[in-house]
Chains A and B, each alone.
Chain A
Amino acid sequence: MRRLLLLEKAHIEEIDRYDIYRREGGYTSVEKALKSMSPQEVVEEVKKSGLRGRGGAGFPTGLKWSFLDKKSGRPRYLVCNADESEPGTFKDRYLMEKLPHLLIEGLIVSSYALEANRAFIYVRGEFKWIIKILERAIEEARTAGWLGKNILGSGFDLDIVVHPGAGAYICGEETALLESLEGKRGLPRVKPPFPAVVGLYGMPTVVNNVETLAAVPWIVLNGGDAYASIGIGKSTGTKLISACGNIKKPGVYEVELGLSVEEFLYSDEWCGGMEGEYGLKAIVPGGSSVPILPAHLALKTASGQPRLLSYESMADGGFETGSMLGSGGFIVYDEAQCIVRNTYNFARFYHHESCGQCSPCREGTGWLERLLHKIEEGHGTLHDIDLLWDVQKKIEGNTICPLGDAAAWPVASALRHFRQEFEAHVHQPQQCLFRRRASFVFANASVEIA
């Protein structure tokens, strides 16, 4: 059965306007929390719900909240991470376009729980129209008395500021985001100290993804136990999956965690199956950073269980035969796609987006890009394939932030599952199906290399 907690009202016309949103029951979680719950009670419900960070890491939200330093009495901040930039991921954009007031409602109850009087929404700069949608919605909410001083007579004050980024994938990493919000280059900070203790302007700060915050109103209204009863095991609730690639119906879907990949991919209710004549070759299930899975491991785990859209099932088999649910960026490749070319593309992306602080990432991502370009262009050797493995291994785990890992994993998993394809590019590059189909396009194209 299809269960919608986030997008239940997304189809309602003009639900982005305050009046309509309110008419449909919007902001009742704020009334409930501010009138009948203490901040700590809200935190407890979120803990009970089992909600996990929807940005990609999957860290339990309630636990993250409980780390926030409230004792020192310094100002606390809540920052919403709306820097959606992970290739394959376009869900937060959809949520903010359709339901800006749901995010604002989530920010109000979450700020109340955290006893933070100022919240920021850090939106990637390219989403200019979304910034306008959010600013209008905030203005509407302020006029209606949901923001400002002494909200609903509770004594709780809150202001929300929308802050634009300016094009940098790294700013999706929470400490880089905070640096950027402070008006600096987005260079990730060394942790510890964690933002919960030393965050924005050196103050205790929680950074949560858009989708995470949007899940909080439902939890406050219906209780953490009710939320925890949805989903499967420790993957509670629902998740937005943005599906793209060679499928019939790309788009953003809300699924109850635990839905099988097979059903999600082939059912007409979701992706609608493969778009053309070719069958399934591989899936990147959680955004470009997570390991790629060949068709057989995408649909079933190594032990023969159906692969499910859940944190645990996706990770089943570790990196040898599994992957990660990540951000829910679900990229589907048909048999005519070239894994070498795709891996090169991602390596170029990470090289471009490396902030340059850590040598293994700054230099290593360049090496990955150049080696993969060489192999993709048909000039590679078998030694280059071994070198590729060696370089990614030296990046992984050796950097301040996870961008290094994110650059290494797609390369490692592609080599692990598709080594023959890399070898074929060394021996017979012209046999690549993608290359043959696309030759009319690439004949005159020069691929720039940074």
Chain B
Amino acid sequence: MLAVRRGKKVEFSPEVLEQAQQIIRRYPEGQQKSALIPLLHLAQEQFGGYLSVEAMDYIAELLHLKPIEVYEVATFYSMFHLKPVGRYVLEVCHTGPCEIKGAEWLIQTLKKKLGIQEGETTADGLFTLRRVECLAACGYAPMLQCGERYYEFLDTEEKVDALLEQLRQNAIT
């Protein structure tokens, strides 16, 4: 499965559309395609954390691109999710420097605590677990990215528990 069709059209709210237009205007005349990656980020954020076929088609329409031009970019970059994900995507760095400081331990611990395998989402839809390559936090390992933040020095069970608890609380409020 390369990408998911939702079966219904999506579009930005007027405020978000204005934000999108502002992004497009940042680039020189005739170079609006440059706005593609920023707009895909915006679409992913607005449309449930992943890029459905409809979301990609909508961005193509906004930028007057052929849908394939959007698909080929969306599939190239690792930050774009083409399948539904949980509310919090926990992305653990497992590249060299993180590995020697316990990235593998962190991944196994999260799997155990969440009861899921890598790439899976918890039944309550809260957490998706992924492993990713270097996030430029090598001195602060083991670590993971979740949303807009990095959570670093996650080297004890207590810290992992505290993080999961905090995210669960955020989901309620």
Contact = CB atoms under 8 A, between A and B. Distances in A.
B37 A442 contact: no
B125 interface: no
A126 B76 CA distance: 15
B18 to A, nearest CB: 17
Contact of A126 (B27, B34, B79, B95): B79
Interface in A356-412: none
A149 interface: no
A442 B104 contact: yes
Interface stretch (B5-13, B131-139, B155-163): B131-139
Contacts of A124: 136
Interface string B14-28: 000000000000111
A342 B103 CA distance: 13
A267 B12 CA distance: 55
Contacts of A246: 100
B41 A129 contact: no
B27 A161 contact: yes
Indicate the size class of the contact surface on chain B: 35 or more
Indicate the size class of the contact surface on chain A: 35 or more
A166 B77 contact: yes
Contacts of B28: 75, 118, 201
B129 interface: no
Contacts of B26: 161
Contacts of B128: none
Contact of B34 (A128, A181, A252): A181
A70 interface: no
Contacts of B78: 166-168
A349 B133 contact: yes
Closest 3 CB pairs of A and B: A250-B139, A166-B77, A183-B33
28 contacts: A87-B97, A89-B136, A90-B137, A126-B135, A128-B148, A163-B34, A163-B37, A164-B41, A167-B77, A167-B78, A167-B80, A169-B133, A182-B31, A183-B73, A184-B73, A185-B76, A244-B97, A244-B138, A244-B139, A250-B139, A250-B140, A252-B139, A288-B96, A333-B100, A345-B94, A349-B95, A349-B96, A353-B133
Given A168-B78, A244-B139, A342-B96, 9 more contacts: A93-B136, A167-B77, A244-B101, A284-B96, A331-B96, A345-B94, A441-B102, A441-B104, A445-B107
Interface of B: 26-28, 31, 33-38, 40-41, 63, 69, 72-73, 76-80, 94-97, 99-102, 104-105, 107-108, 118, 132-141, 145, 147-149
